[in-house]
């Protein structure tokens, strides 16, 4: 029996690679949403993601396929497919069968991250993940990256954010952070205020987590009122019914000084050990649909209700979708 009573693949944007993993002219095999996919970057630098299997005789386009112009060429008999998945040439005929097409996936590339939109009914995206900008208005870039394959589903990873109690108990913080929650159409915001004892000193830390869609999390932090000079961007991308890839990127301005580099690198070490504590839980937990909750727990059920919009297989008329009013729980 499955450990989970909800679907493995919510409708949302999910990271499938970092930009620097796909150079111009490169082809990369991917496996997400229980499917084999092929990513390629054409000579115009644009990234495309298609279903991996060629409609001719079924070769995997990512296994030996090549980029030709802005197309990917199948390694078996040389058929070429453009970013839309349409067959554009066959080396031994000019008669291209009109059904010669592979499914293409909506792709975005920003902040050094490549994302793909999954929809159970193949619908177009109905929201976008915001591009993360610096104070100068320029896009932030990736300075530190980490990735784990976790034996769990996306919702359980994201649900961690509405569970402030575990921050003290599992991660060993001095106090349970005070948290407030508010949610809207495609995003869910969590603000926390916590205290940390560092040596003899008590440090006040504030965080703002924004969950975007079903598997993206953007985190900003203030320590003693001072904003830390980076933004953390996580994705929880479903690999198949059993596993998710947990991506973590620490983003900052393109040019950073030595002090900033050190802050980013020491926070990334801290995030890494925190994530590893969560991963032990995620790898083995179940997800009871009717958990026994008590006073002091976060708004787990309100969160799940908000999240359930990503399991609807048709595009939703938002006026007819009754999202609960935001509440402050703690």
Give the one residue of 56, 66, 147, 191 binding ligand FES; rule: CB under 6 A. Answer: 56
Give the one residue of 57, 280, 293, 324 binding ligand FES; rule: CB under 6 A. Answer: 57
Burial of residue 320 (number of CB atoms within 10 Å: 0-12, 13-18, 19+): exposed
Within residues 77-116, the interface with ligand FES by CB under 6 A covers: 77-79
**Partner that binds at residue 278, options Fe ion, ligand FES, none, CB closer than 5 to 8 Å by kind:** Fe ion
Q: How far is the CB of 76 from ligand FES (least distance, A)?
A: 4
Q: Which two tokens stand for residue 123?
A: 């619908």
Burial of residue 319 (number of CB atoms within 10 Å: 0-12, 13-18, 19+): exposed
Q: Where are the alpha helices (DSSP H) in 127-237?
A: 154-159, 165-169
Q: How far is the CB of 22 from ligand FES (least distance, A)?
A: 21
**Nearest residue to 223 (alpha-carbon basis) of 181, 195, 251, 191:** 195
Considering only the stretches 8-16, 74-82, 138-146, 272-280, report the one whose residues sit in contact with ligand FES under the rule CB under 6 A.
74-82
**Partner that binds at residue 77, options ligand FES, Fe ion, none, CB closer than 5 to 8 Å by kind:** ligand FES
Q: How far is the CB of 327 from ligand FES (least distance, A)?
A: 54
Binding to ligand FES by residue 38, rule CB under 6 A? no
Within residues 251-280, the interface with Fe ion by CB under 5 A covers: 278
Count the residues of the shown chain that bind Fe ion, applying the rule CB under 5 A.
2
Residues facing residue 210 across a β-bridge: 189, 218
- Give the nearer residue to ligand FES in terms of CB position, either 102 or 264: 102
DSSP state of 209: E
- B/e letters for 268-297, b = 16+ CB within 10 Å, e = fewer, are beebeeebeebbeebeeeebeeeeeeeeeb
Integer Cα distance of 167 and 200 in angstroms: 21
Give the one residue of 7, 59, 89, 146 binding ligand FES; rule: CB under 6 A. Answer: 59
Answer for the pair 34, 58: CB distance below 8 angstroms, yes or no: no
| Biggest alpha carbon–alpha carbon distance for the chain | 78
Considering only the stretches 76-84, 141-149, 203-211, 271-279, report the one whose residues sit in contact with ligand FES under the rule CB under 6 A.
76-84
Q: Which two tokens stand for residue 135?
A: 């104070």
Count the residues of the shown chain that bind ligand FES, applying the rule CB under 6 A.
10
3-class secondary-structure state, position 260: helix
Q: How far is the CB of 66 from ligand FES (least distance, A)?
A: 12
Binding to Fe ion by residue 160, rule CB under 5 A? yes
Binding to Fe ion by residue 12, rule CB under 5 A? no
- Give the nearer residue to ligand FES in terms of CB position, either 31 or 56: 56
- Give the nearer residue to Fe ion in terms of CB position, either 160 or 249: 160
Considering only the stretches 51-59, 156-164, 183-191, 286-294, report the one whose residues sit in contact with Fe ion under the rule CB under 5 A.
156-164
Task: Label the pairing between strands 178-183 and 27-32.
Answer: unpaired
Answer for the pair 72, 66: CB distance below 8 angstroms, yes or no: yes
- Cα–chain center distance at 136: 25
Considering only the stretches 96-104, 155-163, 201-209, 259-267, report the one whose residues sit in contact with Fe ion under the rule CB under 5 A.
155-163
Interacting residues toward Fe ion by CB under 5 A: 160, 278
Residues at the site binding ligand FES, with contacts judged by CB under 6 A: 54, 56-59, 74, 76-79
């Amino acid at each position: 029996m499955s450990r989970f009573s909800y679907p493995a693949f919510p409708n949302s944007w999910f990271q499938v690679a970092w930009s620097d993993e796909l150079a111009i002219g490169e082809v990369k095999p991917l496996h997400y949403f229980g499917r084999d996919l092929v990513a390629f970057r054409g000579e115009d630098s644009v990234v495309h993601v298609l279903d991996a299997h060629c409609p001719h005789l079924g070769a995997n386009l990512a296994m030996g396929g090549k980029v030709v112009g802005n197309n990917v060429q199948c390694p078996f008999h040389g058929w070429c497919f453009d970013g839309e998945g349409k067959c554009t040439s066959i080396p031994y005929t000019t008669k291209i069968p009109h059904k010669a097409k592979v499914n293409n996936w909506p792709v975005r590339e920003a902040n050094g991250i490549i994302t793909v939109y999954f929809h159970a009914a193949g619908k177009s995206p109905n929201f976008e993940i915001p591009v993360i900008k610096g104070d100068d208005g320029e896009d932030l870039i990736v300075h530190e990256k980490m990735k784990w394959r976790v034996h769990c589903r996306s919702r359980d990873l994201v649900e961690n954010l509405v569970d402030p109690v575990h921050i003290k108990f599992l991660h060993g913080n001095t106090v349970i952070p005070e948290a407030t929650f508010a949610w809207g159409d495609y995003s869910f915001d969590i603000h926390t205020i916590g205290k940390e004892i560092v040596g003899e000193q008590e440090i006040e830390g504030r965080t703002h987590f924004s969950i975007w869609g079903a598997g993206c999390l953007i985190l900003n932090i203030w320590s003693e009122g001072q904003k830390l000079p980076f933004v953390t961007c996580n994705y929880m991308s479903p690999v198949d019914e059993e596993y998710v890839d947990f991506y973590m990127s620490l983003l900052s301005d393109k040019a950073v000084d030595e002090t900033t580099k050190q802050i980013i690198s020491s926070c990334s070490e801290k995030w890494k050990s925190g994530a590893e504590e969560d991963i032990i839980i995620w790898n083995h937990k179940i997800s009871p649909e009717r958990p026994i909750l008590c006073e002091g727990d976060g708004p787990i059920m309100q969160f799940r209700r908000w999240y359930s919009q990503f399991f609807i297989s048709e595009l939703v008329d938002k006026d007819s979708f009754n999202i609960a009013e935001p509440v402050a729980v703690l």
